[in-house]
Amino acid sequence: MKKVSFILNGENRSVYVEPNDLLLDVLRDKLGIKSPKYGCGRGDCGTCTVLLNGKSVRSCLILAVEIDGQEIMTLEGISKDGLTELQEYFLKHNSFQCGYCTPGMTLTLEEFLKKNPKPNEEEVKEAISGNLCRCTGYIPIIRAVMEYVKNRGG
């Protein structure tokens, strides 16, 4: 076992991990962070997305030992003071059904909208193209994002 220390949702955390433990499993099973989900386990679906130093990554593809000294943000972190404005638009537009994809989708959009605060619809579609949603058909998600962008002055 190796001790890894890192910042998780703004707090210093340490945990002992095996060399082959995946970040996704350590977050869920050892640290009680349940928003990243297991979907495909091979980087295709985006349900396990977290932010690593502000950049969206697939936690099913990262070894927990790799995150020593780094910063992880999950949905629990971005919404710890209440729903974000984008999440409010997700609610308004019923942008989820089962919700399985929603944490990963939200974090992907979080990163994207920081880099591109005024995207057009095609850019939004492209941004979430790596996050699979089996329920919504994507339309309510895109509506929520576009209204959010419009109303915040984008």
C-beta atoms surrounding 28 within 10 Å = 18
- Rank residues 3 and 98 by Cβ distance to ligand FES and give the closer one: 98
How many whole angstroms separate alpha carbon 144 and alpha carbon 68? 36
C-beta atoms surrounding 114 within 10 Å = 9
- Report the site for ligand FES in 3-32 (rule: CB under 6 A): none
- Report the site for ligand FES in 101-120 (rule: CB under 6 A): 101-102
C-beta atoms surrounding 20 within 10 Å = 9
- The answer to whether 74 contacts ligand FES (rule: CB under 6 A) is no
- The residue from 17, 27, 58, 148 that contacts ligand FES (CB under 6 A) is 58
- The answer to whether 56 contacts ligand FES (rule: CB under 6 A) is no
Amino acid sitting at position 130: G
- Cβ pair 83, 144 in contact under 8 A: no
Whose tokens are 């703004």? That residue is: 10
Q: How far is the CB of 132 from ligand FES (least distance, A)?
A: 7
- Cβ pair 85, 93 in contact under 8 A: no
- Report the site for ligand FES in 118-137 (rule: CB under 6 A): 133-136
Q: How far is the CB of 145 from ligand FES (least distance, A)?
A: 14
Q: Which residues bind to ligand FES, rule: CB under 6 A?
A: 38-41, 43-48, 58, 60, 96-102, 133-136
